[in-house]
Amino acid sequence: MKKNVIYVRQSLGTDKQPHSISMQRDMALEYAEKRDWIIHDVYDEGNRSARKTNLEERPELRRLLNDVEAGKIQRILVFKRDRLARKVQQYIEIYRLIKKHGVELHFVADNEPPPFEGAASEFIEAILAGIAEHEANNIVQRLIYSKIPLIQKGLWQVGNPPYAYKSIKTKKKDGSDEEKTPLIEGESNLKFDLDKVKTVKVLYYEVNAISSYILDKQDYNHFCKVLKENESLACLSPKQIWEIITQTLHIGKMVQKLDGEVYEVDNAVTQKNRILNKEEEILWYKANEIINKMNVPDSYKGTKKEEDEDLPSPKLENVLYCGICDQPMLAISKVYKCKTKTCKNSPKIITVDDEVTKRVWNDLLQRGGQHWEKVKEILKTKYSKPFKARIKHLNKELLFLEKEIKEHFRKHLELSLDNNPYLSHLVNRYKETAKEHEMYESLLFHVGHFINNLDKQKTLGLITEMQLTEIQKINILSLVKKVYFAKKKSAKLVCYEPEY
């Protein structure tokens, strides 16, 4: 038997998150109860961000998608789209998988539009996911702006405190930890871990005492191995050794990176976090001079992850073919590579995606200008279709419910029943269905009205000048069924026929 399940996720602490796990679960259970659905499982992700976290790093979502692929799920109830993912690409991946396996997706929040059906459904879902991503970015920006003044005061705000420091925390009423924001001017929000402070001091002294023979080799791993011969340092990894030696807070200077900006602060608050006193400060400078001459792997410095995050997201996989040998091209790192091993056709992903996007976009603009009225008719047909299909389905459901209500009301009168729970259930269903029907009728009207009033010159002018968003690029490239590309010749579009 296939399951009806609930998925819940909360990205911030319970004190900052209005849509708590318990509230999401309760609303989903109430939604299911109204429809006589039995809930078999709840996938509780807890406090995890959907904006920065990869799908693989969200175990409950991964378990849910595995169950979807295994054919175990009939319905998924979730509070809003942004609970599944805040990034458009991630959301569309999840949406496609759910639809592919015929699973029903229901959003239980009152103000969240239901999933759309039909040919234009994925486009509309991408737009709604884009709104969620935009909202997430606004939230992040507000958090960033709130942290900057605190950083400038010398308070630690980004990530976990460095080695040998702890956040000063207080207890909430429920017994859980809550990070304390200092109320007294000049007070730090960090405290020392005294055992680790000893380890830090030993490390600086040991680095300064290491033999020139070891240093001349510039072999960082061997350098760390020699340091770890001291029992006090045996617990440290090579990555930790690099992080400790380069930490400026040990000499009373705080450096934090937030939203691409580096903030350096040296004031009375940061000076309270010193581990090395003024006389010992020379040890820090000499240790950093030594380590900067070493061949330290990028992975220890934390730079590899940043490079990985900058990898482009390919938009033409499965439709891109080599213009030289007619073989499929695969996205590998920052380039598309031909499947033929001996072929040297490997253009950059950004280059190919941008060129093909421009080609399709310019073609759309040219054709749109020539057939403007036809374009408006196509837009109305395309974007009205999901609404009309839903309205048609709801009309049938309303007719069925009317018939059922009349029949059960007649029986209710004949039997002189004091209470008829099923009749009440039918009436409630009818009210909800009528409300949804009214909403879709309104949406259909507004879509048609908006498209009818599009001005040709203004619209084409604005479209020509505007910078395409990632969502728009994705939807433009979705028109391409097959494309050939080679470094020395432009893309050849195949099976791209606009609906004119």
pLDDT mean over 158-180: 68
Which structure tokens are listed for 12? 């911030």
* pLDDT, position 116: 63
Say whether pLDDT at 499 is over 60. Answer: no
| Percentage, residues of the chain above pLDDT 70 | 78
pLDDT, averaged across the chain: 80
* pLDDT, position 106: 93
Distance CA(60)–CA(76), nearest Å, equals: 13
* pLDDT, position 326: 86
Distance CA(247)–CA(254), nearest Å, equals: 8
Evaluate whether 42 touches 4 at the Cβ level (below 8 Å). no
- pTM here is 0.42
Task: Looking at mean pLDDT, say which of 87-101, 126-140, 252-266 comes out highest.
Answer: 252-266
Between these two residues, 364 and 443, which has the higher pLDDT value?
443
Say whether pLDDT at 226 is over 50. Answer: yes
* pLDDT, position 304: 45
Which structure tokens are listed for 447? 């879509």
* pLDDT, position 495: 46
Task: Looking at mean pLDDT, say which of 76-85, 179-188, 265-274, 296-305 comes out highest.
Answer: 265-274
Q: How does 90-123 read in b/e, with b if 16+ C-beta sit within 10 Å?
A: bbbebbeebbeeebebbbbbeebeebbebebbbb
Say whether pLDDT at 283 is over 70. Answer: yes
In this structure, what are the phi and psi dihedrals at residue 428, rounded to the nearest 5 degrees?
Answer: -65, -40
Of 195, 148, 119, 199, which Cα lies nearest the Cα of 479?
119
Which structure tokens are listed for 408? 């059960």
Which domains, and CATH codes, for the chain? 3-143 (3.40.50.1390), 165-303 (3.90.1750)
Distance CA(491)–CA(316), nearest Å, equals: 12
Say whether pLDDT at 185 is over 50. Answer: yes
What digits encode the pLDDT tens for the residues 413-448?
Answer: 887 777 778 888 888 899 989 988 888 888 888 878
pLDDT mean over 478-484: 77
What digits encode the pLDDT tens for the residues 129-149?
Answer: 555 555 555 555 666 667 888
Strands (E) in 297-338, as ranges, are: 320-322, 329-332, 335-338
Say whether pLDDT at 173 is over 80. Answer: no
pLDDT band, residue 177 (cuts 50/70/90): very low
3-state helix, strand, coil in the chain (%, to 5): 55, 15, 35
Say whether pLDDT at 245 is over 50. Answer: yes
Between these two residues, 219 and 480, which has the higher pLDDT value?
219
Strands (E) in 37-144, as ranges, are: 41-47, 73-78, 104-107
* pLDDT, position 382: 72
Distance CA(205)–CA(219), nearest Å, equals: 19
* pLDDT, position 307: 42
pLDDT mean over 456-480: 68
pLDDT band, residue 346 (cuts 50/70/90): confident
